[in-house]
């Protein structure tokens, strides 16, 4: 898997401007066991460099994309990071290897609760969890040094920009479902001015808004919130 990521970095270097990823990021990718986050019937494909279904219409992202998005955040050990879209918890675990605190939000209760059990069982103690609308972010713990969104937003959410610290970085795919999406890097400078950069064309499942709930996934705000015991 690591070799596949390195090859993909080489293939896309003219688009991303990156001929390699940070050693800390690659070490985290090597340490986190992707097979622990993949459904039992997908185990044979756990280390393939591609996305896989995890249920509820969601996916675990391609390892290269996880590594690239993490690298774009430029995380330091003392940083706090907000993740929008816990999913199965794979990206969450990678972030937890690199940052001091990870705050992660999931809209789908079944996914969020399963991810929390999985991550707590793996011994991660620097993650806080919430069930809620990712477009709103998590104001209580803002500002964040970094924010990562693991589903495609229809637009750049103002709430996430407001919750980003000066000199902070937001990595987010933006675009319509099943159409062109662009992985964007959003940076705030020291004066709070916002700068955006298109990185790479991508294809993500859509970031769902709370208003789109249809009651079929048993979602509810806040019942899932809190830090591990």
Within a domain: residue 85? Answer: yes
| Structural domain includes residue 220 | no
pLDDT at 159 over 70: yes
Structural element, H or E, at residue 91: helix 90-98
Take residue 120 and report the two structure tokens written for it. 């707590």
With a CB cutoff of 8 Å and minimum separation 6, the contacts of 193 are: none
Structure tokens at 169: 């970085």
Q: What is the pLDDT averaged over residues 133-159?
A: 96
pLDDT, one tens digit per residue, over 31-58 is 999 999 988 888 888 888 888 889 888 8
Q: Is residue 20 annotated as a catalytic residue, yes or no?
A: no
* Confidence (pTM): 0.90
Q: Using a CB cutoff of 8 Å and minimum separation of 24, what contacts does 192-195 make?
A: 192/166, 194/161
Question: How many domains would you assign to the chain?
Answer: 1
Which has the minimum average pLDDT: 39-48, 94-103, 169-178, 196-205? Answer: 39-48
Structural domain including 45 reads 2-212
Provide the pLDDT for residue 176: 87
Asked, for residue 227, whether it belongs to a domain, the answer is no
Is 81 within a domain? yes
pLDDT of residue 57: 81
Decide if 226 is inside a domain. no
Domain membership flag for residue 127: yes
What CA–CA distance (Å, rounded) separates 138 from 176? 24
19, 61, 203, 227: the catalytic one is 61
What is the tens place of the pLDDT at every residue in 166-194?
999 999 999 987 778 999 999 999 999 99
Record the tokens describing residue 90, joined without a space.
């794979």
Q: Is the pLDDT of residue 164 over 50?
A: yes
CATH number for the domain including 144? Answer: 3.40.50.150
């Amino acid at each position: 898997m690591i070799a596949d990521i390195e090859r993909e970095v080489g293939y896309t270097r003219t688009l991303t401007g990156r001929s390699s990823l940070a050693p800390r990021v690659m070490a985290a990718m090597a340490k986190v066991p992707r097979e622990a986050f993949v459904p039992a019937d997908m185990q044979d494909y756990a280390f393939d460099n591609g996305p896989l279904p995890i249920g509820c219409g969601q996916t675990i992202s391609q390892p290269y994309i996880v590594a690239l998005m993490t690298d774009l955040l430029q995380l330091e050990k003392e940083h706090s990071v907000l993740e929008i879209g816990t999913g199965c918890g794979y990206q969450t675990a990678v972030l937890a290897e690199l940052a001091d605190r990870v705050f992660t939000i999931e809209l789908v209760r079944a996914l969020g609760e399963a991810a929390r059990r999985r991550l707590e069982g793996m011994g991660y103690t620097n993650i806080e969890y919430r069930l809620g609308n990712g477009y709103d972010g998590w104001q209580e713990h803002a500002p964040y040094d970094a924010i990562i969104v693991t589903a495609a937003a229809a637009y750049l959410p103002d709430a996430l920009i407001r919750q980003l610290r000066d000199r902070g970085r937001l990595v987010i795919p933006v675009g319509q479902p099943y159409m062109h999406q662009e992985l964007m890097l959003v940076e705030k400078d020291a004066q709070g001015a916002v700068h955006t950069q298109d990185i790479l064309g991508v294809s993500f499942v859509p970031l769902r808004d709370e208003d789109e709930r249809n009651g079929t996934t048993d979602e509810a705000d806040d019942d899932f919130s809190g830090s591990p015991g």
